[in-house]
Amino acid sequence: MATDLVPGVAPDTPKTARPRAPRVARKNPARRLALLLRHRWLYLMLLPGVAYFLVFKYWPMYGLHIAFKDYIPFLGYSGSPWVGLKHFEELFTGGDFGRLMANTLILALLTIVFVFPAPIVVALLLNEVRVSVLKRSVQSLIYIPHFLSWTIVASLTYLLFSADFGVLAGFINDIVGGQRADYVAQEEWFRPLIILQLLWKQTGWGTIIYLAALASVDQQLYEAARVDGAGRWRQLWHITLPAIRPAIVVMAILTSGNIMDTGFEQIWLMTTSLNRPVSEVFDTYVYYIGITQGGFSYATAVGLFKGVVGVFLIVGSNWLAKRLGQRGLY
């Protein structure tokens, strides 16, 4: 089961082969400087990247402290009064929190159950297709939706599913009969529609990474397995799946960091007055409170909470992955 069966995805070179500075060097300042100088071009190349993160990712975080203030832009950061944890208290004790948490988690759970495995399944299926032209054309066709914006996807959904003129809604009605349902307005259809949209839009694109992993599997393994009498299923189970397991784990960890990220645009565009109780999630709530209603401090508090939870989730799942004997993200 070890991953070293698969050269392509196990790039770990033997430790002795990697050139390393002697351990004493780290302790000796002069040696350290020499080391720095020796790799000066590498460090120089590092600079723009570091600057980018400092300016665009870390400096803006300074603004997060308005979550602990009653921020009024005109008074500025220094002029706005500190209010401590008031906004967090309001968030946790207010009527919205439970609903937001539930909606966010349910959508995340549905995504993990239905959307996450979909590209794996499709990639495995495509991998079994032996006609190269067919394989490629199917692959191209299914990733095209990825390039459409959520606005277009949402408009299409409305066109297909609304009560008055929805083509698909009418079609379903003809088959099932009864009162014509307004799928885009009803609470109970919100989540299925979101998942369907995600599947339609993202599955094809997601297969790319798995197909890349699959492409690097050594064909000799399959030949050897066939000689040993393994059928298609055996080969899938014992060669293909282990081969892409690292890719799956990494993708899973990355996904776990985004559990609180339900994807703003999609949800926002699909939200109506009628489905708000199930559709409002942290992302849309932050936008609504912060930008639409101008509650900057409160929105920042919500966003900060969400971000902290996200960090915990990604660290936690990485730890879990390592615990289970997989190579984690870091």
Partner 1 sequence: MNRRRRLLAGALALSTALGLAACGEEEKAASFDTITVMTRLFGTAPDPNGEMQQAIQKLIGKKLDITWVPNADYGDKLNVTLASNNIPDVLVADEKAPAFVQAATAGAFWDLTGKLDKYPNLKAADERTALNSSINGKIYGIYRVRPVLRSAVMLRKDWLAKLGLQEPQSVDDLYNVAKAFTEQDPDGNGKKDTYGLIIPKWPGNYASSSPYDTIETWFGAPNGWGERNGKLVQGFDTEEFYTANRWLKKWVDEGLVNKDFATLDSANWNDAFVQGKGGIIIDVNVRGTDLSVRMKEKDPKSFDKVTMVGNLKRSDGQKFSLPFTGYNNVLAISKQRVRTEEQLDDVLTTLDKLQSKEGSALLTNGIDGRNYKLEDGKAVLINQDDPAVKVVQNDVDKAFIQIGTRASVGLGQYPFKFPDESTQKLFDLRDTLMNEDLKTAVYNPALPVIAPTLVSKGQTLNLIIPDARLKYLSGQITEEQLRAEVKRWYESGGTEVTQETNDLVSKLPK
187 binds partner 1 (CB under 8 A): yes
3-class state of residue 268 by DSSP: helix
Binding-site size for partner 1 (CB under 8 A) equals 53
Site string for partner 1, 106-145 (x = CB under 8 A): ----------------------------------------
185 binds partner 1 (CB under 8 A): yes
As a whole number of angstroms, the distance between CA 263 and CA 207 comes to 20
As a whole number of angstroms, the distance between CA 329 and CA 286 comes to 29
Determine how many CB atoms are found less than 10 A away from the CB of residue 123.
23
Q: Which of 170, 242, 246, 295 binds partner 1 (CB under 8 A)?
A: 295
As a whole number of angstroms, the distance between CA 152 and CA 160 comes to 12
Site string for partner 1, 214-233 (x = CB under 8 A): --------------------
Half-sphere exposure of 103 (CA within 13 A, CB side): 25
184 binds partner 1 (CB under 8 A): yes
Instruction: Read off the tokens for 328.
Output: 């984690």
As a whole number of angstroms, the distance between CA 259 and CA 182 comes to 29
> Which of 124, 241, 217, 219 has its CA nearest to residue 227?
219
Site string for partner 1, 151-180 (x = CB under 8 A): -------x---xxxx--------------x
Q: Which of 21, 32, 45, 63 binds partner 1 (CB under 8 A)?
A: 63
**Footprint of partner 1 (CB under 8 A):** 56, 59-60, 62-64, 66, 72-78, 94-96, 150, 158, 162-165, 180, 182, 184-187, 263-265, 268, 272-274, 276, 283, 286-296, 298-300, 303
